[in-house]
Structure 1
Amino acid sequence: MTKNVLFIMCDQLRADYLGCGGHPTIRTPNIDALAARGVQFSQSYVQSPICGPSRMSTYTGRYVRSHGSDYNQVPLRVGEWTLGDHLNKFGARAVLCGKTHMRADVDGMARLGIDPDSPKGRHIAECGFDVWDRLDGLHPTGGRAPSHYNDYLRRHGFDGENPWEEWAASVVDIDGKVKNGWLNENAHLPARIPEEHSETAYSTTRAIEFMQQADGDPWCLHLSYIKPHWPMAAPAPYHDMYGPDDIVAPVRAGHEKTDAHPVYRHNQDVRHSQIYNRDGAREKVIASYMGLITQIDDHIGRLITFMEDTGRMMDTMIVFTSDHGDYLGDHWMGEKLYFHDQSVRVPMIIYDPSPQADATRGTTDPRLSEAIDLAPTIVDFMGGDVQSHILEGRSLLPLIRGEETDWRTCAFSQADFSHISTRAALGHPAEDCGMVMAFDGRWKYVYAKGLPAMLFDLETDPQEFNDLGGDPAFADECGRMQAHVLDWALGGKTRVTQTQAEIENAKPASASGILIGFWDEAEHRAAQARNNS
């Protein structure tokens, strides 16, 4: 039987904003039902809490320190293996429906003489995906336009210079006046676009259309939703589905405003964090955020119904995750970028249709998983060779199928503040703005070059309020976690052109006729005899 994969990724969805993730009021029955049919990994961490580098790690199965794309709009260099490359090796393909945040290494292609418009150039530029439909998300007028979705809108009578911004990213007040959906004061108003033509509905329909026509070669369809990322413009009826009583109180402490790490403290003062200090702002923005999530859930229900009706649930693995979370005012911050769980921990649900996975259905696995595990998991499920000298993640199939296996003891993530105002505010040179998080399931340690380290004990302080990094009583824990960071830093898989087996099975130099350090023929013959024995 041909094995296929539906790889669903949301943009900026927190792990705790699902019913199965523990949220007390949000309604996500279809995602919850998917978790009941598969395995939910409750401690899943992205390799960078910002779109571009997180996705590049997910698509390559490699840490940021290995692939080098450390911020949005930093190109993924030519030559990096992607999920598509791994699948192409055995006749499968990776197909895109939605967003990748990929920026092509145009200079690298020019240096190597690769025409960007050639099949190979397009493969590199699209991060190894065959593009079925592209919808990249943020397209203000004057910027790049999402050709597929804008063309669709125009065909359905939604005209304008930029139909996405004028219809999907605009809202309408009670008097019918069109307002700017980017402005958070308007988050309670419905999007101008009817729900059936909104971004989430459109991408879902396009994914179904792909599966309807898919035939022959096995495929991994990456359905990459652009929501619940801002602008917070939810179409009716999702715009007012939730109210103030549904909003969870902010997770923050007063002392975080005075005692926070310099990097975190600066982030508390930027505009996207200050917005949540306005009276009623959290209630308005988060209600829309929740509505967008429930809209995604409804359309995942539509997908699952289609797959059940067509028999696709029998041969298709379903992966559900996000590229990062959102602070939503917690810890006095907005957006993402740093290492509290609100930002760096994501939902991870995997449904494996194989009978071998029956014993774990409906379970929650607390072992540490990482976004880089998805590429080897998909390759493994589809029957390919998991190239462990390239892929730094590990296949989750043994966990999903209840097999005994040694597992990781630490998860890692990276951030870089050289591209934002924090660098200038702290007076740091660009090369010294890297940060690394190591989390062992209890202790979360953050190394920041030239700045104090941070340490949080999530067993006694699950909300991450109290930074113990400067407390002499926890110096040993800091040292132990720093050793994890050092081991990780030295463990990058940069020798991607040769497997470990090739190295271990290579003949000694003397066996290949290269004679170094021998005294005489007798010593040389003795060495040859040992090599041949």
Structure 2
Amino acid sequence: MADRPNIILIITDQQRYDTIAALGFPYAVTPNLDRLVQEGVVFSQCHITAPSCVPSRASLFTGYYPHTTGVLANGQKWQHTWVEQLRDSGYRCVNIGKMHTIPYDSDAGFNERYVVENKDRYLEGRWYFDEWDKALAAHGLVKQQRETYRQRSDYRESLGCFDWELPEELHSDAFVGNMAKWWVETYPTTEPLFLQVGMPGPHPPFDPPARYSEPYLKRNDLPVTKPSAEELETLHPALKEKRVHDVEVDHDSVVWSLDPTPEQMHRLWAHYLGNVTLIDEKIGQLLTSLEERGYLKDAVIIFTSDHGECLGEHGLIQKWSMYDVVTRVPTIVWSSAGRFEGGRTVDGQCQWFDLGPTILELAGITPPPDFEAQSLMPALQDKPWEPRSYVFCEQAGDVALGGVEFITGVRSDRWKLVHFKGSKEGQLFDLEADPKEVHNLWNDPAHAKIRRELLDVMREWLIDSNYRTRNRTAEMR
């Protein structure tokens, strides 16, 4: 076993925890991820620090909370990462796929970047042509996107679900998976290697090739849920406004419905899971190439996602809220060469950005002392480890969240509180009695004490964070 393993970090975009068969979701067809689960270590309560792409990723790749990085919503500039430390220490650092740095083509600490961005870029960077755009253009094609989907007669009823009708190998997730495989098979073997593979899916549009969604469309047991009228009535006003906004504005080619039919919801789940199965297939092919090239003799593979997806739960679509279906992400760490014992699940709470110092320590690098992220190495090595008593989440108002300036969430093992800046209303859930987060206890007098306690925890966390990172904030970007 070498001192410095090859590290492969695979990040999907907008993938819920409950989309992998081996994690207790039997509806999904995910044999390659199932293998990583069965042979690796699963962190079952890993929560992101921001419920949207850019602030979540900036937090992961810097080791600081969003309010410290200053990246609180999509479109904000960030580019410096701890990958620079890996590169400077001798790792060959390669990114293939989505990182979502702003600007897109920042080196972000990598020796090589092959950027593939959102499936449906429409605002910032709309005319930035990434590797996927170039590949399509080389074939005389233009990717399926909002302008073309809008021409369909069923556009408003599709909820963002379409079939990929161009060559299968040019679907964004197939393209990224194939390109990562090509790099591994073509580039002269270089160790130690840090390879970050960013899959654009299952982020919408929900448009896998039909052969992936069709098996799910034939099933009648997908866990499609319908929120009650009572839950919809008790949603926070900012989330009610978001529901209406998502009907009026087609972000990522999704025109939402305030009352989708069971058939629409079944199709939504089928297309989403079909995209997950496509990604799983490409991960399996990449693992085979890594093994054949010798990289897996001593390697650590990390699979995870930047945030989840509501998929109609709570009457919402996409992210930008702090329900567990958005904040809790699959996080699997697999190793060869006996680095740590696999086949285990770690149930204590951790934050997604804790992967940063973990990767640095795997590479033999001491994380900066003011990192707000905490290494998961003790848990991986099955040594005494203190889970986080509380995890936190932050989000500024964004393109699909215009009804509030800022949202802050705090979660313990049992309780979750969400504070909406400038609002007398908030959210409070007893996760033990109400794991689906349906019954909001914010205004319940019987729970006023726990509400006050969690608000105090939030205040003390912010004070401690601002003091601890006082010399770092101005240097982040």
Which interval holds the TM-score relative to the shorter structure?
A: 0.7 to 0.9
Cα distance in 2, alignment partners of residues 150 and 297 from structure 1: 23
- Aligned residue identity for 1:464: E
What is the identity, as a one-letter code, of the residue corresponding to 1:411?
V
Q: Which amino acid aligns with 1:224?
A: G
- The structural deviation recorded for 1:228 is 0.8
Between stretches 271-280 and 434-443, larger displacement belongs to: 271-280
Structure 1: runs of 5+ lacking an equivalent = 106-121, 172-177, 499-533
SS at match of 1:221: strand
Does structure 1 conserve the Cα–Cα contact (< 8 Å) formed by 2:92 and 2:190?
no
1:13 CA drift (Å): 0.6
Q: Partners in 1 of 2:148 and 2:264 — Cα distance?
A: 19
User: Counterpart of 1:23 in 2: which secondary structure?
Assistant: coil
Once the two structures are superposed, what CA deviation does each residue of 1:338-361 show, in whole Å capped at 9, x if it has no partner? 111111111111112242412xx1
Match of 1:109 in 2: none
Confirm or deny: 8 A CA contact 1:39 1:365 kept in the other structure. Answer: yes
Using the TM superposition, give the Cα deviation of residue 497 of structure 1 relative to its aligned residue in structure 2, in angstroms: 6.2
Query: How has the CA–CA distance of structure 1 residues 377 and 169 changed in structure 2, closer, same or farther, with 3 Å as cutoff?
Result: farther
The question of whether the paired residues in 1 share the 8 Å contact of 2:160 and 2:255 is answered with no
Amino acid at match of 1:223: V
Out of 234, 252, 275, the position equivalent to 2:208 is 234
Change (3 A) 1:277 1:69: same
Following the alignment from structure 2 to structure 1, what is the Cα–Cα distance between the partners of residues 63 and 155? 33
Counterpart position of 1:31: 33
* 2:398 corresponds to 1:434: no
The aligned counterpart of 1:474 is: 447
Distance 1:180 1:392 in 2: 49
Provide the rounded CA distance (Å) in 2 between the counterparts of 1:246 and 1:96.
38
TM-score (norm 2): 0.88
Shift of 1:217: 5.2
Aligned residues: 455
Q: Residue 363 of structure 2 aligns with which residue?
A: 382
Q: Deviation at 1:131?
A: 3.6
Q: Give me the whole-angstrom Cα distance separating, in 2, the residues matched to 1:225 and 1:241.
A: 22
What secondary structure is seen at the aligned counterpart in 1 of 2:216? coil
Asked whether 1:368 is paired with 2:343, we answer no
| The one of 115, 126, 135 aligned to 2:116 | 135
CA distance in 2, matches of 1:180, 1:5: 46
Q: Cα offset for 1:335?
A: 1.0
Aligned equivalents of 2:419, 2:434: Cα separation in 1: 19
Shift of 1:62: 1.1
Equivalent residues of 1:339, 1:437 under 8 A apart? yes
**3-state DSSP class of the match of 2:449?**
helix
Query: Are residue 262 (structure 1) and residue 262 (structure 2) matched?
Result: no
Contact 1:169 1:233 in 2 (8 A): no
CA distance in 2, matches of 1:473, 1:183: 43
1:180 and 1:230 map into 2 onto residues whose CA distance is 19
The answer as to whether partners of 1:36 and 1:362 remain within 8 angstroms in 2 is yes
Q: 1:51 aligns with which of 37, 53, 58?
A: 53
Relative to structure 1, the CA distance from residue 323 to residue 331 in structure 2 (aligned partners, 3 Å threshold; closer, same or farther) is: same
Cα distance in 2 between the residues matched to 1:198 and 1:352: 30
In structure 2, C-alpha distance between the alignment counterparts of 1:491 and 1:354, rounded to whole Å: 39
Separation (CA, whole Å) in 2 of partners of 1:153 and 1:275: 32
Amino acid at match of 1:262: P
> For residue 241 of structure 2, what is the amino acid of its counterpart?
H
The CA deviation at 1:15 is 0.7
- Return the letter of the residue paired with 1:408: R
Supply the RMSD in Å over aligned alpha carbons.
2.7
CA distance in 1, matches of 2:153, 2:114: 26
Give the 5 Å matches for 1:120-131: 125-131=106-112
How far apart are 1:308 and its partner, in Å?
2.6
Aligned pair in 2 of structure 1 residues 349, 247: CA closer, same or farther (>3 Å)? same
Correspondence for 2:380: 400
The 2-side partners of 1:268 and 1:92 are apart by 45
Who is 1:221 aligned against?
195
Q: CA deviation at 1:443?
A: 0.4
Counterparts in 2 of 1:9 and 1:251: CA distance versus 1, 3 Å? farther
Distance 1:169 1:284 in 2: 22
1:448 aligned residue? 420
**Distance in 1 separating the partners of 2:63 and 2:461:** 15
Counterpart in 2 of 1:291? Answer: 274
Distance 1:228 1:334 in 2: 13
Distance 1:4 1:225 in 2: 20
CA shift in 2, pair 1:421/1:338, >3 Å = closer
Secondary structure of 1:314's aligned partner: helix
Shift of 1:140: 5.8
- Retained in 2: the 8 A contact 1:46–1:371? yes
Q: 1:181 to 1:227 in 2, by over 3 A?
A: farther
Hey, what does 1:353 align to over in structure 2?
Answer: 336
CA contact (8 A) 2:49 2:353 kept: yes
Distance (Å, rounded) in 2 between the aligned partners of 1:179 and 1:314: 49
Instruction: Tell me which moved more, 325-334 or 215-224.
Output: 215-224
Aligned partners of 1:194 and 1:281: how far apart in 2?
A: 26
**Per the alignment, do residues 454 and 276 of structure 1 end up closer, same or farther by CA in structure 2, a change over 3 Å counting?**
closer
Asked if the contact 1:13/1:325 (under 8 Å) is kept, the reply is: yes
Once residues 130 and 414 of structure 1 are traced to their aligned partners in structure 2, the CA distance between those partners, rounded to angstroms, is 31
- TM-score, normalised to structure 1's length? 0.79
Q: Matches of 2:200 and 2:21 in 1, distance apart? A: 20
Q: Is 1:70 aligned to 2:72, yes or no?
A: yes
Distance 1:403 1:251, change over 3 A: farther
Q: How far apart, in 2, do the equivalents of 1:232 and 1:181 lie?
A: 15
Q: Structure 1 residues 94 and 309, CA, compared in 2 at 3 Å: closer, same or farther? A: closer
In structure 2, the residue matched to 1:197 is 170
Match in the other structure for 1:99: 98
Identity rate, percent: 27
**1:82–1:260 CA distance, 2 compared to 1 (3 A):** same
Deviation, structure 1 residue 198 = 2.1
Specify whether residues 17 and 418 from structure 1 end up closer, same or farther in structure 2 by C-alpha distance, changes over 3 A only. closer
Residue in 2 that maps onto 1:326: 309
Do the aligned partners of 1:181 and 1:232 also contact (CA within 8 Å) in 2?
no
Alignment partner, residue 516 of structure 1: none
Match of 2:463 in 1: 490
Cα distance in 1 for partners of 2:166, 2:153 equals: 13
Give distance in 2, aligned partners of 1:406 and 1:376. 15
Among 445, 451, 457, the alignment partner of 2:430 is 457
Change (3 A) 1:23 1:406: closer
Give the stretch that moved more between structures: 347-356 or 224-233.
Answer: 347-356
| 1:248-259 equivalent positions in 2, closer than 5 A | 248-250=223-225, 252-259=227-234
Kindly provide the amino acid, as one letter, of the partner of residue 91 in structure 1: G
Aligned CA distance change for structure 1 residues 364 and 354 (closer, same or farther; 3 Å): same
Rounded to whole Å, the distance in 2 between the matches of 1:350 and 1:181 is: 41
Once the two structures are overlaid, the 10-residue window that deviates more, 55-64 or 298-307, is 298-307
Code of the residue aligned with 2:199 in structure 1: it is Y
For residue 73 of structure 1, give the secondary structure of its aligned residue in structure 2. coil
User: For residue 296 of structure 1, what is the amino acid of its counterpart?
Assistant: I
Conserved 8 A contact 1:12-1:325: yes
Superposition deviation, residue 133 in structure 1: 1.2
1:7 aligns with 2:9: yes
